[in-house]
Amino acid sequence: MAARLSRLRYSAAEWGPAMTARGVFLSFEGGEGSGKSTQISILAKTLERAGLEVVLAREPGGTSLGEAVRALLLDPATGDVDSRAELLLYEASRAQLTRELIQPALATGAVVLCDRYYDSSTAYQGYGRGLPISEIEALNSSATSGLKPDMTLLLDGDHQRGMNRATTESTDRLEAAGDEFHKRVRHGFLKIAQADSLRVKVIDAEGTPEQVAKRVLASIRTIPVLALVLAEADL
């Protein structure tokens, strides 16, 4: 594993002019039930089979502070949360996750798979709740110290189907927010992808998990260092 990791660092520096000599940072975005967790789990297994070190992160959460924020935000008993208070709680969780988990993992050359990152604030609190996008982008930038994923996989599909999937598990506070809200969020994610098409890849989330995983892998292969390592492992 150590040899594989030092080779990844070497390859990253050599192959990707746009990449620095560090690990690879991938975020997954999309509505509730769009398949983010399912796809992260499939991709993590594939990357680990290729010998890469994979670190999983999720938002809100991923740290003690973040998990406490997550429990607070998702608990229906929390009741009405002011939109700005909600935004700042997500940003606090993000700041902690970025410094405590993501940056150190990238420094060791790992592949970090993050279940939601700052695009979710733009989509949910901005396009969904109606807070000014510029205000959210400023807070996103502060919470992340300007760190951006090398690639963001946006799992896009019919939100009603996603909601039906999601509600078979549990109905949390955000999932209860209503149809119109979720339509605005989906539209918001697509606007973000349009504005930053080099980073954000729109993945059709319809079909079986295996079909979607193939689409995810095809996008991932456009990152030279991952293409190389996957090809060497015959994956």
Ligand X SMILES: Nc1ncnc2c1ncn2[C@@H]1O[C@H](COP(=O)(O)OP(=O)(O)OP(=O)(O)O)[C@@H](O)[C@H]1O
Q: Residue 4: how many CB atoms within 10 A of its CB?
A: 15
Partner interacting with residue 166 (select from Mg ion, ligand X, none; CB below 5-8 Å by kind):
ligand X
Q: Does 142 bind ligand X (CB under 6 A)?
A: no
Q: Which of the stretches 27-35, 97-105, 142-150, 222-230 binds ligand X when contact is defined by CB under 6 A?
A: 27-35
* Interface of this chain with ligand X, residues 173 to 232, rule: CB under 6 A: 207-209, 212
Q: Does 209 bind Mg ion (CB under 5 A)?
A: no
CB 199 within 8 A of CB 149: yes
Q: Residue 220: how many CB atoms within 10 A of its CB?
A: 21
- Rounded CA-CA distance 169/171 in Å is 7
Dihedral over alpha carbons 220, 166, 184, 57 (to 10 degrees): -40
Least distance to Mg ion from the beta carbon of 138, Å? Answer: 27
CB nearer to ligand X: pick between 15 and 181:
181
The end-to-end CA distance of the chain, in Å, is: 17
When binding is defined by CB under 6 A, the residue of 52, 57, 166, 203 that contacts ligand X is: 166
CB nearer to Mg ion: pick between 37 and 164:
37
Phi then psi for 125, rounded to 5 degrees? -80, -30
Would you tell me which residues interact with Mg ion (CB under 5 A)?
36-37
Would you tell me which residues interact with ligand X (CB under 6 A)?
30, 32-38, 165-166, 169, 207-209, 212
